Amino acid sequence: MAALDLKARARQAFSLFTLSLHPRRCDSSECTGNHPRWKRTTSNTGRVRLHGSSFCLIECFEREIRRTLEQTQHADSFWPTKPRRIPLGLIMLSRGELSNHQLQRALEAQACAGRGRIGEWVRNLGFAEEAQIAAALAKQWACPLMRTLPARPANDSVPLQLLQSFRMVPVHFSKVNRILHVAFAGDIEYRVLFSIERMLACKTEPCLTTKAQIEAALARVQARNPSEEKLFENCDTEEMVRILSNYSARLCAAEVRTAHCGEFFWARILSGANSIDLLFSRRRILPTSAGYTAGDWSFPSDQPRR
């Protein structure tokens, strides 16, 4: 009798637990609630959380994802233009690291070539070391300078494709304050930091380092290749909806998070302790070692990392 009682209690506790993960109510105002039963078998309860609300898999979820994609198509236009900063050359001049003549020569070389950043030309002409340029950049962006990056990245949660595309590396994670410190070697991509905050539910703080440090750290991250991520290129909105819906259903997703990240649309599918990152690019990324094209949208045989 006691054993039966314990089993009943365990069953009740489990149902409460799964209910909290998969709420029964759909938050879509357009939900008909008449989805065919066969579609509900793709998940425990047929619900997935998206942007803090709960939706039926598949119809209501697909509708919300499609809406999100349509809204984020022009997301870059919502970002303000880069704030004006003191020119790097002037900062180096004021620090005594560059003479008037050297700055003039670097500016002329840049204008003549019609490309490159002034810091690159200063270095190419041998007027300053990379560490001096990084220090001036740190002053320009009012960020801390990190001369040497740690041997291991602070966090495996940012997809490698994004780290490589934006030349950034997570260097320290403060568990107490949930702050992720991210190193850059040039421009700080605040829109990407915003997306990371949204996807990882943390705060971010940028810092600056040299290009050599970033390249070495990215090589170490790539060698470890810890993250479970898939890259899809040249997808249109309907293909992206189908891929996201397919993965979410097959993985019995409890939650899907999304963020616009430069030219990428980043989706993280969470299922229990597992997660997988799907990245969609508007163009073809080379090399395509981890890439899937739009035609490969069906669920691959490999499973998310546990």
Residues that bind Zn ion (CB under 5 A): 26, 28, 31, 56, 60
Q: Which residue's CB is nearer to Zn ion, number 26 or number 269?
A: 26
Supply the minimum distance, in Å, between the C-beta of residue 63 and Zn ion.
8
Supply the minimum distance, in Å, between the C-beta of residue 39 and Zn ion.
11
Q: Which residue's CB is nearer to Zn ion, number 47 or number 230?
A: 47
Task: Report the side by side order of strands in the sheet with 179-184.
Answer: 168-174, 179-184, 203-208
* C-alpha 22 chain-centroid distance: 25
Q: Which residue's CB is nearer to Zn ion, number 53 or number 237?
A: 53
Neighbours of 205 (CB within 10 A): 15
Q: Which residue's CB is nearer to Zn ion, number 182 or number 249?
A: 249
- Indicate if the alpha-carbon torsion angle 264, 277, 231, 181 is positive or negative: positive
Structure-token match 């001036």, residue found: 136
Q: Which residue's CB is nearer to Zn ion, number 221 or number 249?
A: 249
Tokens of 280: 């969609």
β-bridge partners, 271: 274
Tokens of 179: 């702050």
Supply the minimum distance, in Å, between the C-beta of residue 62 and Zn ion.
10
Q: Are 256 and 52 in contact (CB under 8 A)?
A: no
Q: Which residue's CB is nearer to Zn ion, number 28 or number 68?
A: 28
Q: Which residue's CB is nearer to Zn ion, number 35 or number 117?
A: 35
Supply the minimum distance, in Å, between the C-beta of residue 42 and Zn ion.
14
Supply the minimum distance, in Å, between the C-beta of residue 179 and Zn ion.
36
Q: Are 87 and 139 in contact (CB under 8 A)?
A: no
Q: What DSSP string describes 99-154?
A: -HHHHHHHHHHHHHHT-S-HHHHHHHTTSS-HHHHHHHHHHHHT--B-SS--SS-S
Per-residue DSSP letter, 296: G
287 preceded by a cis bond (ω within 30 of 0)? yes
Supply the minimum distance, in Å, between the C-beta of residue 43 and Zn ion.
13
Supply the minimum distance, in Å, between the C-beta of residue 299 and Zn ion.
23
